[in-house]
Amino acid sequence: MGRILLGFGLAMAGGALVAVGSASSRVVHRVFSPAVNVMNAMPLASFVLLVLFMFRRENLSLVVSFVMVLPVVYHNIYKGIHTTDAALLEMAAVFRVPFWKRALHIYWPAVAPFVFSAASVGIGFAWKSGISAELIGAARGTIGGYLHRAQVSIQTVDMYAWTIAIVAVSYAIDRGFSWGAKKWGAKYD
C-alpha cells in the first residue's frame, strides 16, 4: 500500500509540475504532451511486462501507479489552468498583482476542482493498477503477489479474502480522501 500511495503522490506532484509548465510554455507542452499521451494509451499489462525488465518486482506497483496516474493529473490540471478567468488575469496584470497572489487567489480557485477530481480518480486508479501490476508480476510480499499465489494454487477462499481486503482498503482510502477534501473545502462526493 505504501508503494502505491508513494507512486500516487509522485504522480500528483509530477503531473502538476508538467501541467503548469505546459500551460505556461508552448515548448514544454510540445515536449511533454506526446509523452503523456503515450502513457495514457499504453495498456497496463504491456507496461507491466516492460517495467519488469527494468525494475525489481517489489517496486513494480510504485512505477506502474505513477505512470498510470500521471496522465490523469496532467490533463485535469492543464485543463483547469486554461479555464481560469482571463478577465481576472488581465485585471491582475493591470494592477500589477504579485504572482503568488495571482496563484493563490485566481488560479487556485479555478484549478482546485480539477485537482480534487484528478486526485479522486487517480487514487482509485493507482490502487487498481498497482494491485494488478503486483498480480501480473507475481511480486512477493505484496497483496497482488498473495492474490497471484492463491490463484495459482487454486485457493478460492484466499482469493476471496484478498479480494475483500482489496475492496475494503480501496473503500477506506476513498472515504479518507473524501474526508480530507471536505476538510479542505472541496466539493467531493
CATH of the domain at 8: 1.10.3720.10
- How many Å apart are CA 131 and CA 160, to the nearest integer? 15
Read off the pLDDT band of 164 (50, 70, 90).
very high
What's the confidence (pLDDT) of residue 186? 57
pLDDT at residue 187 tops 60: no
Predicted pLDDT of residue 174: 80
Residue 118 lies in a domain: yes
Grid cell digits, residue 20: 503548469
For residue 184, the model assigns a pLDDT of 67
| Count of the separate structural domains present in the chain | 1
Cell of 55: 525494475
- Buried b or exposed e, range 100-115, using 16+ CB within 10 angstroms: eebeeebbeebbbebb
Residues in the chain: 189
Is residue 147 one of the residues assigned to a domain?
A: yes
The pLDDT assigned to 54 comes to 85
Q: Is residue 99 part of a domain?
A: yes
Q: Is residue 188 part of a domain?
A: no
Percent of the chain with pLDDT over 90: 35
In tens, the pLDDT along 136-161 reads 887 788 888 888 888 888 888 988 99
Q: How many C-beta neighbours within 10 Å does residue 142 have?
A: 23
Decide if 60 is inside a domain.
yes
**pTM of this prediction?**
0.85
DSSP string spanning 54-93? HS-GGGHHHHHHHHHHHHHHHHHHHHHHHTS-HHHHHHHH
Distance (Å, whole) CA 111 – CA 78:
9
Domain extent at residue 127: 2-183
Identify whether 37 is part of a domain.
yes
> Would you say residue 189 lies in a domain?
no
130 in a domain, yes or no?
A: yes
Confidence (pLDDT) at 166: 87
pLDDT digits (tens, 9 = 90+) for 55-107: 887 788 899 999 999 999 999 999 999 998 888 888 888 898 898 988 888 88
- Residue 6 predicted with pLDDT over 90: yes
